[in-house]
């Protein structure tokens, strides 16, 4: 039996062990899916705190219940920081971060370090799948030569695929199992191995002709959103100057049953994909002598939104005879999107820093973050404020940044002196609500 047939049989029979490297917002749901599909899963993460929590049956992601972790443990799941355990796996799925560096250029150091840590333990009859979002060419330019320099022939001894993650944290309408899975292989046999791996746990498989196509498809998905959000953010500014409610415009346009998809403005982009992924393509495109002007313009619009919001805050306070310096401002919601405990690239943090730099006295309220978490770039020694009519009335301005469902918006409007609403929560005009 050749190596490909051996692997396919292992996946079909559920005898395979799945190794997942990186147990965050992508890796952890993937672990749970493969575990519930009947596979033994070994999870590898360099964060000892995560490893200890998972092995104790505890979660560290708000929308993933601890009972799901405990159930996976009962089915044989183990977490470890020992990369030598990767040799037990038939499949190794890499789900590590791909941020930007200080120059807004791709930082794939997490991928490189992970692959280098795996190299001593790779062997025949394994498949390696990269899921981290990255620029087209990463799989073949960075992973392939490292693996083959280790003495293994990709496509014969070992198999290599790229299959981009498509998680949407906190969205109850889609799960790891039901979101279609794009897969590109380095060779035809690599693709077949990838299909066999993922179809054992995912409902719909979307094979493509190469790893580069799969890498580019992920970037297009998120650039599509970034560009359209940039468009509607620019429309918001135009509508504001004209005295038109952008949210009413969007609602009316969305009644068209064809040719229009509603996107909504906000205080800036957040999350691990949309603020970052476009820069992966613009950086790589320069290698080919291409300037991605359209993408870069959308990025410029979206990046400037926090400054525009601060302008609306200053304008709102001025209307009450107040300066921003010395005013008490409560930032409502610091997660990057509603109903999740995730602050990656949250525009709320940049807004807090800008408010503080301009002399405002700031607090925040977010039920998902009782304490302001430690972050690489920002830190505030603050705890979440518990909202009550008296507390709300004590602030000069409430800046609504993240519209969690847990907030009592009627109570806020009744008691706040001023609200600057960046999310279109308040549809009806009100004297104490300014839309931004």
| Helix or strand run (H / E) with residue 126 | strand 126-130
Tokens of 183: 């897969």
DSSP string, 265-321: --SS--SSSTTTHHHHHHHHHHHTT---HHHHHHHHHHHHHHHHHHHHHHHHHHTTT
**Cα 103–343–375 angle (5° rounding)?**
60
Helix, strand, coil % over all residues of the chain, rounded to 5: 40, 15, 45
Asked if 279 and 100 count as a contact pair (C-beta separation under 8 A), the reply is yes
User: For residue 15, how many other CB atoms are within 10 A of its CB?
Assistant: 12
Tell me, rounded to whole angstroms, the distance of Cα 127 from its chain centroid: 25
Contacts of 68 (CB under 8 A, 6+ apart): 32, 59
331 φ, ψ to 5°?
Answer: -85, 120
DSSP string, 359-403: T-EEEEE-TT-SBPPP-SS-----BPPPP-HHHHHTSSEEEE-S-
Asked if 37 and 14 count as a contact pair (C-beta separation under 8 A), the reply is yes
- What is the chain's length? 436
Tell me the HSE value of 352 on the side-chain side, using a 13 A CA sphere: 24
Tokens of 308: 């525009």
Q: Which residues are catalytic?
A: 273
**Crossing angle, helix 293-318 and helix 347-357, to 10 degrees?**
50
Tokens of 111: 């991928």
Tokens of 293: 């002007």
304 φ, ψ to 5°?
Answer: -85, -10
- Name the nearest CA neighbour of 23 among 4, 44, 52, 9: 44
Tokens of 104: 């807004």
254 φ, ψ to 5°?
Answer: -70, -10
């Amino acid at each position: 039996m050749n190596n490909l047939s051996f692997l396919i049989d292992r996946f079909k029979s559920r005898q395979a062990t799945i190794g997942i490297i990186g147990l965050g917002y992508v890796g952890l749901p993937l672990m749970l899916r493969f575990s519930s599909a009947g596979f033994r899963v070994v999870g590898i993460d360099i964060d000892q705190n995560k490893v200890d929590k998972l092995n104790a049956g505890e979660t560290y992601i708000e929308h993933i219940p601890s009972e799901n972790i405990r159930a996976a443990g009962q089915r044989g799941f183990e977490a470890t920081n020992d990369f030598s355990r990767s040799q037990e796996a038939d499949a190794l799925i890499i789900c590590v971060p791909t941020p930007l560096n200080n120059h807004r250029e791709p930082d794939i150091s997490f991928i490189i370090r992970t692959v280098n840590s795996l190299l001593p333990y790779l062997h025949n009859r394994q498949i390696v799948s990269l899921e981290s979002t990255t620029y087209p060419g990463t799989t073949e330019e960075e992973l392939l030569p490292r693996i083959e320099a280790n003495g293994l022939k990709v496509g014969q001894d070992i198999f290599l695929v790229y299959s981009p993650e498509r998680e949407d944290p906190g969205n109850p309408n889609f799960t790891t199992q039901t979101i279609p899975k794009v897969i590109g292989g380095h060779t035809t046999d690599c693709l077949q191995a990838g299909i066999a791996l993922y179809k054992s746990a995912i409902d719909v498989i979307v094979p493509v002709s190469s790893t580069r196509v799969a890498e580019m498809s992920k970037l297009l998905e998120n650039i599509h959103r970034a560009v359209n959000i940039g468009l509607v953010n620019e429309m918001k500014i135009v509508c504001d100057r004209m005295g038109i409610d952008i949210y009413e415009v969007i609602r009316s346009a969305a009644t068209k049953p064809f040719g229009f998809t509603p996107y909504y403005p906000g205080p800036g982009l957040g999350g691990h994909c949309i603020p970052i992924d476009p820069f992966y393509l613009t950086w790589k495109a320069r290698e080919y002598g291409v300037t991605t002007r359209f993408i870069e313009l959308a990025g410029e619009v979206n990046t400037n939104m926090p400054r525009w919001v601060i302008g609306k805050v200053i304008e709102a306070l001025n209307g009450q005879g107040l300066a921003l310096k010395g005013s008490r401002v409560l930032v409502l919601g610091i997660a990057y999107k509603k109903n999740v405990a995730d602050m990656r690239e949250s525009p709320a943090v940049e807004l807090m820093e800008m408010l503080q730099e301009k002399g405002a006295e700031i607090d925040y309220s977010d039920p998902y973050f009782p304490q302001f978490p430690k972050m690489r770039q920002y830190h505030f020694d603050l705890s979440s404020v518990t909202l009550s009519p008296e507390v709300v009335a004590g602030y000069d301005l409430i800046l609504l940044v993240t519209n969690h469902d847990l907030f009592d918006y009627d109570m806020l409007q009744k008691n706040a002196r001023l609200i600057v609403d960046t999310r279109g929560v308040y549809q009806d005009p009100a004297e104490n609500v300014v839309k931004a």
